[in-house]
Chains A and B, each alone.
Chain A
Amino acid sequence: MNVSEIQTFEHEVLVIGAGGAGLRAAIECSARGLNTGVISKSLLGKAHTVMAEGGMAASLGNVDRRDNWKIHFRDTMRGGKFLNQWRMAELHAKQAPERVRELEEWGAVFDRTPDGLISQRNFGGHRYPRLAHVGDRTGLELIRTLQDHGVHQGIHFHMECTALRLLLDGGRIAGVAAYWRDTGRFVLFRVPAVIMATGGGGKAWFVTSNSWEYTGDGAALAYEAGAELMDLEFTQFHPTGMVWPPSVRGTLVTEGVRGDGGVLKNNKGERFMFNYIPKRFAPETADTIMEADRWPDDPSARRPPELLTRDVVARAIRAEVEAGRGSPHGGAFLDIASRRPADFIRRKLPSMYHQFKELAEVDITTTPMEVGPTLHYFMGGIRVDADTQQTNVPGLFACGECAAGLHGANRLGGNSLSDLIVFGKLAGEGAASYLGELQGTPRADDEQIKAAYREATDILNRESGENPYLFHEAIQEVMSNNVGIVRTGPELETAVEQLGVLKGRAKNLKAPGTSQYNPGWHEALSAKSLLVVGEAVARAAHLREESRGAHTRLDFEGEREECARFNIVIRKGASGEMQVEKLERPEPPKELAAIAYATLEELEEGELR
């Protein structure tokens, strides 16, 4: 193979991933005069961001004037069980409103308040109505707005193109080896800066809301290039995925259903969430049905427990099912039909209405939905600097779901779309300032490039070997059985051991057919990433001997004070082994700590905008 014959593009920065974070990062790079390329595994506008439903959190204060960045910050830290990076949570809460307004400037059409401003809806863990939204298709609005704006910014979009390996020169980023999905040909990007925006790795589990793209590529490629990963033990199980029919098990049912008045019931018709209110949230949560039903119209009423954070609700549903109080297909009932008029439901939740009608033949305006937990989101990912989004690998940046830090142990709904636009922009700024100071031109040697392509072609050229689809299922089986919503030490050890066996078997994957648009080959190529993130999650979960946020250990119940003092960091050791270590958290800045631990009254009355 002659490297000079491979199709080559030269950009100053390459963004990997074209969801909300990648597009926002690319727009920023381009605005700063950088020659910017974007590669995406799918066609433009199809990224998983389109699946985001409820909205994006920003303390615009349009619906409740009492809201401000401090309360958003406090909610985010509390939701993340104080394992978030303080500075990221601060930047996010402060900058989200301006990023949302900017989308409007680029053509987004959010739902409106009666006086013509961007409307905001209630969501789990958010004190006030805070989510700017468009019915229940906010993610589509976000991605289309960025896409339609982005195509006029001189960005080079390379669609259906998958990264295989990050290329280095003396430890610095020098390029990306990739291939075109449609033709199967290899392509080389010679770039001194890369922004990862690849999303999470939910496809390592059977029941997930994630699409095929979510194979943990960003975290895995960064890890292989020497970047540190963090907080991988925190994988969010969204409490409400569809449970029936089996073919759509895991598909997301927006939290907006509960935000707009839906309640959870067991098979006895009880609103069971009242039995699962954690101590920390008890003062701010309604403890009777009567009080919950007065909310939100009565300002003295506290929030219904159905709007507790996702980790709490997901565990509660699981516990009800375990106790024999589940719905016929092993979930809970999510009932909005008896709570809101049919036309309200169709207007506020049109795609949920459509989704249940078409896929489950259930009319949600008359019948409760059956829902259960589904792997939805990685709070953890690539470790980055809060202000620049740079990793410990010079020239490598990460933003969005594939980056760690903002959400800590648990993400609040609505904080991911705002995460994408806040940190997408910051990653673009970070890359621009890195390039401004870069000395010389990093250049990848031919050996790295050839090795990446050789490994890929071996899968096609092998005489025989394992079926990539069944191999993927084997990974899912390990993760679903041993690294689920509740975990134990021995199960996590089993997972690491079995993934080790699978790693050996991965060397024998075989994709029949040619390289031209061959999903079997694509599946085989993503197996490597799935194995890295799967192992990282299992190892981190094993090391965290407590239950906090989305991470629940049956053998270590409850939060432990000493475990609040570290995050878990993962890196590749010198001999290729995965190293896991506790990284002590620095003391928070005094002002931020004061806000995070303040009472609501202090924040509302002390310093309004």
Chain B
Amino acid sequence: MTKRVFRIWRGDARGGEFHEFDEEVDEGMVVLNVLHRIQAKQANDLALRWNCKAGKCGSCSMEINGRPRLACMTRMNVFGPTEVITVQPLKAFPVIKDLTSDVSWNYEQNKRIAPFKPQPRGADGEHRMYQEDVDRVQEFRKCIECFLCQDVCHVVRDRDRKDAFVGPRFMIRLASLEMHPLDDEDRIPEIKKEYGSGMCNITRCCTEICPEHINITDNGIIPLKERVIDRYYDPLARVARLFAGRKLRMKSHSEEHSVE
């Protein structure tokens, strides 16, 4: 057992400051364990969110030594033996209190996205999809909505263009629908106009931060950008669409760049 120093931001929308706490740390602990100890022993009203303690629910997102992380998956042994651990709430969203921020904007974005629209079932009453065709969609559906990607996105965080871009989380949600073998909704116009696929300038910060290791940029956002380009800027496709009278869709991911 060793003593460690934590600097924790405490305050609310009106302002706040860092408070220093010394706390005992045992072998194998993660940051969330230490915060719980501080909460129980030193600061009963310290506000923070958590649920599963195993990186599956995405509740305990916060910025730890400047990097957005899940507190439950950040082991204490990743820090130097005397390193002070600084903890603060996600910066891209308004703070509620201490380590909690108001992430309701994300829920509003999700609600804007048109619901899944399934094709009719086959004659045998079944939907048939093949594993190789759903692998990519399943990658996106691993998302635990921790919103760390939203927190590091330059468009959302630094430029505060929440009005123009839904952020990486919802780009891959859109990708999971657009590439869903059964989805019959035409999503390309909204991806371009409403959700701002053009705003992403591919710095890949979201991909680097993703605790689920989803290849957000290369497997999600770039293919969506390509579909937008094919639709709006490819003259051949425009002519074809004119004759076909409906959208051209490419469902097989083999036609796209695949980055593992």
Q: Which residues of A contact B (CB under 8 A)?
A: 42-48, 50-51, 104-107, 109, 111-112, 114-117, 134-135, 137, 140-141, 144, 148-149, 151-152, 159, 182, 211-213, 244-248, 251-252, 350-351, 354-355, 358-360, 467-470, 511-514, 516-521
A-chain residues with CB within 8 Å of residue B27 when the two chains form the complex:
245-246
- Assuming the contacts A46-B51, A245-B28, asked whether A520 and B134 have C-beta atoms less than 8 A apart, the reply is no
A-chain residues with CB within 8 Å of residue B127 when the two chains form the complex:
104-105
- Assuming the contacts A46-B51, A137-B142, A247-B26, asked whether A520 and B45 have C-beta atoms less than 8 A apart, the reply is yes
Nearest residue (CB) in B for A516 is B97
**Contact flags B18-52 to A (C-beta < 8 A → 1, else 0):** 00000000111110010000011100111111111
User: Whole-angstrom distance from the CB of A19 to the nearest CB of chain B?
Assistant: 11
Q: Are A50 and B129 in contact (CB-based, < 8 A)? A: no
The listed residue (B12, B30, B115, B134) touching A149 by CB distance below 8 A is B115
Given contacts A246-B26, A246-B27, A513-B45, 15 further A-B contacts (CB under 8 A): A42-B59, A47-B51, A51-B52, A109-B138, A109-B141, A141-B141, A149-B115, A159-B104, A211-B50, A251-B53, A354-B55, A470-B40, A514-B45, A517-B97, A518-B47
- In whole angstroms, how far apart are the Cα atoms of A117 and B121 in the complex? 12
A-chain residues with CB within 8 Å of residue B129 when the two chains form the complex:
109, 112, 116
B-chain residues with CB within 8 Å of residue A351 when the two chains form the complex:
55-56
- In whole angstroms, how far apart are the Cα atoms of A513 and B44 in the complex? 8
Q: Are B46 and A519 in contact (CB-based, < 8 A)? A: yes
User: Whole-angstrom distance from the CB of B206 to the nearest CB of chain A?
Assistant: 19
**Contact flags B114-156 to A (C-beta < 8 A → 1, else 0):** 0110100000001111110010011001111100000000000
Q: Are B115 and A152 in contact (CB-based, < 8 A)? A: yes
- Assuming the contacts A44-B107, A51-B52, A512-B45, asked whether A467 and B28 have C-beta atoms less than 8 A apart, the reply is no
A-chain residues with CB within 8 Å of residue B110 when the two chains form the complex:
148, 151
User: Whole-angstrom distance from the CB of A106 to the nearest CB of chain B?
Assistant: 6
Q: Are B56 and A137 in contact (CB-based, < 8 A)? A: yes
Q: Are B29 and A182 in contact (CB-based, < 8 A)? A: no
User: Whole-angstrom distance from the CB of A133 to the nearest CB of chain B?
Assistant: 11
B250 near A: Cβ within 8 Å?
A: no
The listed residue (B97, B145, B177) touching A107 by CB distance below 8 A is B177
A-chain residues with CB within 8 Å of residue B145 when the two chains form the complex:
45
User: Whole-angstrom distance from the CB of B257 to the nearest CB of chain A?
Assistant: 21
- In whole angstroms, how far apart are the Cα atoms of A167 and B111 in the complex? 32
**Contact flags B86-116 to A (C-beta < 8 A → 1, else 0):** 0000000000111010111001001100011
Q: Are B103 and A43 in contact (CB-based, < 8 A)? A: yes
Q: Are A43 and B29 in contact (CB-based, < 8 A)? A: no
A-chain residues with CB within 8 Å of residue B54 when the two chains form the complex:
51, 248, 251-252, 355, 359
Nearest residue (CB) in B for A252 is B54
The listed residue (A350, A359, A519) touching B73 by CB distance below 8 A is A359
A-chain residues with CB within 8 Å of residue B40 when the two chains form the complex:
467, 469-470
A-chain residues with CB within 8 Å of residue B28 when the two chains form the complex:
244-248, 360
Nearest residue (CB) in B for A460 is B45
User: Whole-angstrom distance from the CB of A467 to the nearest CB of chain B?
Assistant: 7
Number of A-B contacts (CB under 8 A): 165
- In whole angstroms, how far apart are the Cα atoms of A152 and B114 in the complex? 8
Nearest residue (CB) in B for A104 is B127
Q: Are A46 and B30 in contact (CB-based, < 8 A)? A: no
Nearest residue (CB) in A for B212 is A354
Nearest residue (CB) in A for B29 is A247
B58 near A: Cβ within 8 Å?
A: yes
B-chain residues with CB within 8 Å of residue A212 when the two chains form the complex:
50-51
A-chain residues with CB within 8 Å of residue B49 when the two chains form the complex:
42-43
A-chain residues with CB within 8 Å of residue B128 when the two chains form the complex:
115-117
Q: Are A519 and B47 in contact (CB-based, < 8 A)? A: yes
B251 near A: Cβ within 8 Å?
A: no
Nearest residue (CB) in A for B100 is A517
User: Whole-angstrom distance from the CB of B140 to the nearest CB of chain A?
Assistant: 9
A-chain residues with CB within 8 Å of residue B39 when the two chains form the complex:
469, 519-520
- In whole angstroms, how far apart are the Cα atoms of A252 and B53 in the complex? 10
B227 near A: Cβ within 8 Å?
A: no
User: Whole-angstrom distance from the CB of A358 to the nearest CB of chain B?
Assistant: 5
Q: Are B59 and A517 in contact (CB-based, < 8 A)? A: no
- Assuming the contacts A512-B44, A519-B39, asked whether A109 and B180 have C-beta atoms less than 8 A apart, the reply is yes
Which of B53, B102, B104, B131 has the most C-beta atoms of chain A within 10 angstroms of its own C-beta? B53
The listed residue (B45, B55, B107, B116) touching A511 by CB distance below 8 A is B45
The listed residue (A104, A111, A358) touching B55 by CB distance below 8 A is A358
User: Whole-angstrom distance from the CB of B125 to the nearest CB of chain A?
Assistant: 8
- Assuming the contacts A111-B131, A358-B75, asked whether A519 and B137 have C-beta atoms less than 8 A apart, the reply is no
The listed residue (A50, A152, A355) touching B111 by CB distance below 8 A is A152
B-chain residues with CB within 8 Å of residue A469 when the two chains form the complex:
39-41, 44
B-chain residues with CB within 8 Å of residue A149 when the two chains form the complex:
115-116
B202 near A: Cβ within 8 Å?
A: no
User: Whole-angstrom distance from the CB of B89 to the nearest CB of chain A?
Assistant: 11
B57 near A: Cβ within 8 Å?
A: yes
Chain B residues 207-257 with CB under 8 Å of chain A are none
- In whole angstroms, how far apart are the Cα atoms of A245 and B26 in the complex? 9
- Name 12 interchain pairs, CB-CB below 8 A, sorted by A: A48-B52, A116-B126, A137-B56, A144-B141, A148-B116, A149-B115, A182-B96, A211-B52, A248-B30, A467-B44, A511-B45, A520-B44
Nearest residue (CB) in B for A108 is B141
List the 5 shortest-distance A-B pairs measured between CB atoms, nearest first.
A245-B28, A513-B45, A520-B44, A107-B116, A116-B128
User: Whole-angstrom distance from the CB of B212 to the nearest CB of chain A?
Assistant: 8
Q: Are A359 and B75 in contact (CB-based, < 8 A)? A: yes
User: Whole-angstrom distance from the CB of B85 to the nearest CB of chain A?
Assistant: 15
B-chain residues with CB within 8 Å of residue A245 when the two chains form the complex:
26-29
- In whole angstroms, how far apart are the Cα atoms of A514 and B46 in the complex? 11
A-chain residues with CB within 8 Å of residue B177 when the two chains form the complex:
107
User: Whole-angstrom distance from the CB of A110 to the nearest CB of chain B?
Assistant: 8
- In whole angstroms, how far apart are the Cα atoms of A106 and B59 in the complex? 25
Q: Are B45 and A50 in contact (CB-based, < 8 A)? A: no
Q: Are A248 and B53 in contact (CB-based, < 8 A)? A: yes
A-chain residues with CB within 8 Å of residue B73 when the two chains form the complex:
358-359
B-chain residues with CB within 8 Å of residue A106 when the two chains form the complex:
116
Q: Are B141 and A134 in contact (CB-based, < 8 A)? A: yes
- In whole angstroms, how far apart are the Cα atoms of A43 and B182 in the complex? 29
- In whole angstroms, how far apart are the Cα atoms of A251 and B98 in the complex? 27
B-chain residues with CB within 8 Å of residue A511 when the two chains form the complex:
44-45
Nearest residue (CB) in B for A472 is B40
- In whole angstroms, how far apart are the Cα atoms of A193 and B43 in the complex? 39
A-chain residues with CB within 8 Å of residue B116 when the two chains form the complex:
106-107, 148-149
The listed residue (A44, A107, A211) touching B53 by CB distance below 8 A is A211
